[in-house]
Amino acid sequence: MTERLTLTPGQITLPQLRRVAAGGVEVELDPACDAGIAAAAALIDKIVAEDRTVYGVNTGFGLLANKRIPREDLATLQRNLILSHCTGVGSALPDDVVRLVLALKATGLARGFSGVRREVIDALLRLLNAEVYPVIPSKGSVGASGDLAPLAQMAATLLGVGEVRYHGEILPAAFGLKRAGVAPLVLGPKEGLALINGTQVSTALALKGLFATGDLFAAAAVSGALTTDAAQGSDAPFDARIAEVRGQAGQIAMAGVYRQLTEGSAVRDSHVDCPRVQDPYSLRCQPQVMGTCLDQIAHVAAILGREANAVTDNPLLFTKEGDVLSGGNFHAEPVAMAADNLALAIAEIGSMAERRIALLMDPAFSGLPAFLVADGGLNSGFMIAHVTAAALVSENKGLAHPASVDSLPTSANQEDHVSMATWAARRLTDMTGNTATVIALELLCGAQGIEFHRPLKSSPPLEEIVADIRARVAHWDSDRHFAPDIEPILTMVASGALRRFVPGLLPDGD
């Protein structure tokens, strides 16, 4: 039986949104939002009845806002708005992102500041719960005035226009509405504008990036500890006193993580008196670098948590005072900058992991066989696995360039500063995929390195992860087809399975 998930508009949590993205839940709204929805819709009716001029209700849009629209054309105005804004291009957004878009748009409208009828909100939720997902092109939004083109494609589905994806099959939107039990809508005043104004697509893409970053971050903490032990690195840099005198919260937390992961290692005990004075930074400075990344993840999580609960269309209705105010909540700068910050963290996590892989390849440093394979020369071992990691890290360097600094005026200079949040968030999927692969390669290298120290054992947590790896991939005795070894470990990283080693650490829920 499908689990029900009740969302309270304005109070939605990141763990709830993770569940929405994953699918398999039926979303419903807290009934407490009903009164606010009805009051805002009634205010729109009152404005129309009084023949007041209000932007988006009975005017044109953007530079055409000074054009008054007759009452008999108001429904056509909203329909035309939707259809004319369906200009998105590129591959379709994946199901997990579309689930988030539908949920975020429905709950944002349900805050009661947008003036849409309950049946419009219910239609979005019926699509979500029936797994009928609008086909939304991924390109075409600059993140102000909201995600216009992609949200227009979502809204067009409610009119019976466009296409939907149902269990992987592409269907005409009209067929999809029937499967969801929704009749094509005739939009009322302002409803089309409320549907396409907003940051829901950018936010959904950024949330996907945030959740994936949490999964790979946990795996990177484990892989870094594993490599440290395999390379006979020191655990002295993880001493709590070092972190405490600096006072950075992320560093303090990560020093504790590395102590917990490495405690009890016989490999470590075997080289306590070795002549090496200091380790390279990719081992020694893990608490500092990963701690900084953790702080950035927490910062991004806080911003996206607020944005997921925000009202971001325009104009907004304040029913208590009877006011309709035009502003700029659709400007997605918070999402753009948050995504840029997250991109930096993703790139750094992968960059440091690649450097640790490089250390394991080098027998002069690690004391292990070159490229982690016996009978080197006949066997190349992990030589080109490291090259793959280097290629992915280099790609992420380019992708990490801030998107939010690039603004291009649109709408005849009415919209003269835009956020580029949609691209800022969309590239995170490629970046997290790259870094997750680098971490998977480091886990394979680390497990191989630990096994060269047998019969000595690593710490209990690290031996557990070695066993997990070996349950999926055999020890590398001699060269074989490498590609099939990567996929099961990448799946383990991307699934979030290694979050169990860092419980309570990540702000998006475990």
Neighbour tally for 369: CB within 10 Å: 16
d(CA 291, CA 428): 20
User: Of 55, 133, 166, 281, which one is the catalytic site residue?
Assistant: 55
CA nearest neighbour of 426 among 339, 510, 296, 325:
339
> Cβ distance 289 to 348 under 8 Å?
yes
d(CA 510, CA 498): 10
Distances (CA, A) of 29 to 121, 199, 254: 10, 20, 38
d(CA 79, CA 75): 6
User: Helices 460-470 and 249-262: crossing angle, nearest 10°?
Assistant: 70
Distances (CA, A) of 246 to 6, 236, 281, 299: 42, 16, 17, 19
What sections of 14-53 are H helices per DSSP?
14-22, 34-49
d(CA 295, CA 457): 33
Alpha-carbon Rg of the chain, whole angstroms? 26
d(CA 484, CA 467): 18
d(CA 313, CA 163): 24
Determine whether 391 is exposed, middle or buried from the number of CB atoms within 10 Å of its CB (0-12, 13-18, 19+). middle
3-class DSSP state of 460? helix
d(CA 231, CA 449): 7
d(CA 244, CA 469): 34
Q: Phi first, then psi: give them for residue 257, nearest 5 degrees.
A: -60, -45
281 catalytic residue (yes or no): no
Determine whether 26 is exposed, middle or buried from the number of CB atoms within 10 Å of its CB (0-12, 13-18, 19+). middle
Catalytic machinery residues? 55
